[in-house]
Structure 1
Amino acid sequence: MMNQALPWLMAIGMGVYQGVNPPVGWLRAVARGLETNSTRAILLSTAALAFGHFLSMIVLLAPVSVVIAVLLADRLSMMTLMQAGSLAGFGLIGFGLYKILRPRHPKFLARISPDRPVRWAFCMGLTHCGSPVMMAPMLINLILVSAWVAAPSTVAPIFGAVLIALAVSAAMAVPLFLTGSAVAIAVVRRFGLRAITRYWVNLDLGWAVMFILMGIMGLTMG
């Protein structure tokens, strides 16, 4: 199994990356800040985006954690689940290649009202970002490590597995909020809109490459 700290560091790193990414982390918050001239409005906006992203993680990772715990309770071998996590790496690689070939956001996202940031971020996380999918192999590894550390002959209970899923989701959502808020406040209060056109970087391409790298790690996780 991989180092137990590595999945947590990866979740935090992905949250920071998403917070820096304009479409996901702070661009809407900048618009809200310019509209209201309020730092509080910026923080509320980025908090809503982070919460929506958190919910998108939970919707997938919580059921996956329950399934893993149930399978372990039925004494399914840890090696089988480790192999399942490795196979999930193929899915991540495929999704990353898909995002490189088709980097556009799903069209239905544009039809979500701007005053529904939680809903927008939730749909964004499940479709365009795919963060829950990216963390699924890492979640499998964390639950297996937790069960093994507790006692090699026993398994982690369902409650403990769900707590791990919640913690992984929070480990990504909190850095997203902090980073997105910091960037949005800096743009509104210091650098201005001119900085957006001057320093704009296509971070979606890096996100797609990250999927491929995470998939490769998933393949070697066993």
Structure 2
Amino acid sequence: MTALWPWLSLAGLGAFHGVNPAMGWLFAVALGLHRQNRKVVWLSIVPIALGHALSVAAVLAAAVAFGTVLDPSAFRLAAAVFILGVAVYTAFYGHRHRFRIGMRTGLAGLGLWSFLTATSHGAGLMLLPAVLSLCLAEHAGDLAMANSLPVSLAAIAVHSGAMLIVTAALSLAVFTWFDLALLRSAWINFDRLWTLALGATGIALLVQ
């Protein structure tokens, strides 16, 4: 059961990222409504999920690379301080960094937007406690690149799969039954939730 929790955490974070409208489902719905085409919603989900997955992969690759040259305890501390710093910055200045693209964007532009948005929001950083836990448990404290790569790839697949499922379900549900008018009466401040999640990630690394 202990070995299962990191995987459940990765899937749960994927669902959380999928629910967050800033990660893409809101844009997919807007594009579908703008072009009056359900197929556009389906097509938009793919580059959104792919851009998100590439952003997470880049963060995890950087983390493993740094982890191979640092003592695990020192790396945890450095990563925790960095993530908490990002959380504080996001709380005060995150709203200033919004990547905007028009309704005529293609699939490549949508994928690039998703990559930049996920990266600027620190989406991949939230996965660090779970991935580090899996890598260290699997390889007895060794964060060598070759050993950590399969675990990291599996973690990206689980996280991205959960995010894709939730994003697709929300996009199609809102497009089919509710449209964007729903957000006027049922809006949640995900920016605040996101900042709290980043802070919780940093704290989790400190006590891990």
TM-score category of the 2 structures, normalised to the smaller one? 0.7 to 0.9
In 1, Cα distance between equivalents of 2:101 and 2:176: 30
TM-score (norm 1): 0.81
Counterpart mapping for 1:47-126 below 5 A: 47-68=46-67, 70-71=68-69, 80-107=71-98, 109-110=99-100, 114-115=105-106, 116-126=109-119
Q: What residue is the counterpart of 2:17 in the other structure?
A: 18
Q: CA deviation at 1:162?
A: 1.2
Matching of residue 144 in structure 1 with residue 143 in structure 2: no
TM-score (norm 2): 0.86
Q: Which amino acid aligns with 2:51?
A: G
Q: CA deviation at 1:208?
A: 0.4
Q: CA RMSD in A?
A: 2.4
Superposition misfits of 4+ residues, deviation over 3 angstroms: 35-40, 111-114, 155-160
Percent identity of the aligned residues? Answer: 25
Q: CA deviation at 1:104?
A: 0.5
In 1, Cα distance between equivalents of 2:204 and 2:47: 31
Q: What residue is the counterpart of 1:9 in the other structure?
A: 8
Matching of residue 206 in structure 1 with residue 180 in structure 2: no
Structure 1, unpaired ranges of 5+: none
SS at 1:201's partner residue?
Answer: coil
Q: Which has the larger radius of gyration?
A: 1
After superposition, give the CA deviation of every residue in 1:137-169 in whole Å (9 maximum; x if it has no partner): 433222111102xxx8xx576434112222222
Q: Which amino acid aligns with 2:23?
A: V
Q: CA deviation at 1:30?
A: 0.3
Q: What residue is the counterpart of 2:183 in the other structure?
A: 196
Q: CA deviation at 1:67?
A: 5.0
Deviation larger for 17-26 or 82-91: 82-91
Structure 2, unpaired ranges of 5+: none
Q: Which amino acid aligns with 1:46?
A: I
Q: What residue is the counterpart of 1:166 in the other structure?
A: 153
After superposition, give the CA deviation of every residue in 1:75-111 in whole Å (9 maximum; x if it has no partner): x8xxx3144224422222222122122230515x126
